[in-house]
Structure 1
Amino acid sequence: RRKVAEQIHIGFGIDKNFGKFAGVTITSLVHNNIQHDLNIHIVYDQLLPEDMDRLKKTEQLYRNLNLHFYQITSTEGMTFVVPPGHITQAMYYRYLFAQMLPKAVKRLIYMDADIICKGDILPLWQTDLQGRVLGAVRDWGEEKSCVRIGLKNGRYFNSGVLLMDLVKWRQQHLTQKLFRWLEAVGSTKILWGDQDALNGVIDGDFVELPKKYNCIIINNTLLKAAQEDVIVHYIDYIKPWHIYCLDSDEKKLYWCYVKKSLWDDLQPMDGHTVDTTVMTARVLYKEGSYEKSVSYYEALLKYFFKDKYT
């Protein structure tokens, strides 16, 4: 007889652009946690039909996977301060688990959809929160963030992986407090949206999780994953699924799980800004695809000269 598997609850908050990436993250979770029952709660506004279809097929593939979907139909009473850049309104959906999930779900691991899990998450799930509402990993470059939003205690966490006590969250009316903070502070100090508000309201009163549960990776910099890291988080605006993401072990790790997933037909994506076009041209050149590289530079010249000389 199989001993009763541990029930682990994991949450994602996504929009239609992230259905496939959530699928890859979920594939990595299932592969490395086959001994536990994973209950995945997906809060979303819209999902592409083909992603919804593949998510449901993924669920059928694995005995230990259960998916639950919660569609946001109204955003009444919510203030979304969306900074310019790669951050979207969907980052605020992590605030909504306490109200959208059944009350029976008392604890949840929240994860961003730009993550690969490469190990056992049971120890993270079982972490003692010591009566606090959240557990999180301290952020890279936290001093600046503390100064920017005026935190007293000098501790600032990254909100890409959160262990949440949903009972306490509901008792403390945290969702309302977060939206009130966003309304009050508005776009004056906000750089990292949901993460700033969480830190602003919680102000250091969180349980610090080991770094291996949210190992921050930035495209080919000194921030790299180690053997013992369980959760690898690609935080930059350059993601491993972009053409112009430079080659690295972390990029290979990502594509390894793309190939294991039902999204194995995923093609590296193009950027639409001048920056990303230059990066793409450089990466293609480094890889020896000279003609392709030249075509990107040509496109840039056309764009800058508005076809005057071509």
Structure 2
Amino acid sequence: MDTIPLLVSLDQAYLPQLQVLLTSLYWNNPGEQFAIYLLHSGIPAPALAPVVRQCEHLAYQFHPIFVEDRLFADAPTTKQYPKEMYYRLLAGSLLPRQLNRILYLDPDILVINPLRPLWEMDLEGRLFAAAAHTGKTDLANQVNRVRLGTDHDYYNSGVLLMNLEACRREISTDHIFRFVAEHERELLLPDQDILNALYGSRILPLDDAVWNYDARNYNTYRIASGGIYDMKWVMQHTAILHFCGKAKPWKPGYLYRFGGLYLHYAHLTSQYFGMEEF
């Protein structure tokens, strides 16, 4: 089987979460080979050392890629809109040219079932495949359509199957920078808003219950499915659990249902790969 390339983009503070993600990936994708590409703006080598050792232990390739500040000299940036927000959207120009597709994952994710079916999905010529989180009602989608002037669902940018060849042809840094400069006050989740406003019509929709399950919304999924999407269903069918929002399972006081599962993988990471427990 071919090696599956995965893209992450984060700062030093999220390296422990990356290690937990890698542990869950390994446990639930037996026999798969992964190449991990990390876009970063200056994580020192000593801080990366635990991830390097873990990838060596798992027999995963690890490719940290330093993104130079000069590449974003013309980018509108503020404390709210740091340069890192552009990395996943401009991955086509930042990653090696021999890569023609890649799977991007946010670091606040557990992989609990195989990723190959997603990796092998036909993108039908689209730029991305992504899932929308409609939540308890479709109100959020309606608000975002009006806010961004779109007619499609509001896609979450935390899981993206990326057609890098098409991205290199169709995504322009100038276009993105100009959009941000013109709409700075309107952007609530900047990189996600940019994805939806500029490229939402070029996205292949994914089933979020399988490929980008919002870990806060177990009851919503269960009720909306008429009881089908219960805990057993999630464990058997959901591939990607995404811990969206400000509440995180590695922080004190996390109340949502899958917090214990996250801490289980954190404990495995500590036990086998030397990460300090949260």
Higher relative contact order (CA 8 A, sep 6+): 2
Decide which structure has the larger Cα Rg and report it.
1
Is this contact kept in 2: 1:32–1:117, CA < 8 A?
Answer: yes
The aligned runs of 1:94-113 (5 Å cut-off) are 94-113=88-107
The answer to whether structure 1 residue 43 and structure 2 residue 39 are counterparts is yes
Aligned partner (choices 178, 182, 185) of residue 184 of structure 1: 182
- Cα 1:37–1:254 shift into 2, 3 Å: same
Q: CA deviation at 1:223?
A: 6.2
Distance in 1 between residues matched to 2:118 and 2:154, nearest whole Å: 19
Bigger helix share: 2
Is this contact kept in 1: 2:89–2:195, CA < 8 A?
Answer: no
**Corresponding residue for residue 8 of structure 1:** 4
- Cα 1:29–1:210 shift into 2, 3 Å: same
Distance in 1 between residues matched to 2:146 and 2:193, nearest whole Å: 11
Deviation per CA, 1:169-209: give whole Å up to 9, x if none. Answer: 001134442222112211x2111110000101013331011
The answer to whether structure 1 residue 161 and structure 2 residue 159 are counterparts is yes
Aligned partner (choices 184, 190, 195) of residue 193 of structure 1: 190
The answer to whether structure 1 residue 73 and structure 2 residue 68 are counterparts is yes
Instruction: Give the RMSD, CA atoms, in angstroms.
Output: 2.2
Which stretches of structure 1, 4 residues or longer, exceed 6 Å deviation after superposition?
A: none
3-state SS of 1:218 partner:
coil
Is this contact kept in 2: 1:20–1:51, CA < 8 A?
Answer: no
The answer to whether structure 1 residue 253 and structure 2 residue 261 are counterparts is yes
3-state SS of 1:154 partner:
coil
Distance in 1 between residues matched to 2:274 and 2:46, nearest whole Å: 10
Deviation per CA, 1:31-62: give whole Å up to 9, x if none. Answer: 21232210110001132555411001101111
Distance in 2 between residues matched to 1:80 and 1:96, nearest whole Å: 15
More deviation, 35-44/221-230: 221-230
Is this contact kept in 2: 1:137–1:161, CA < 8 A?
Answer: yes
Task: Give the aligned residue type for 1:119.
Answer: N
Distance in 2 between residues matched to 1:158 and 1:242, nearest whole Å: 22
Percent identical among aligned pairs is: 25
With normalisation by structure 2, the TM-score equals 0.84
- Cα 1:93–1:124 shift into 2, 3 Å: same
**Corresponding residue for residue 84 of structure 2:** 90
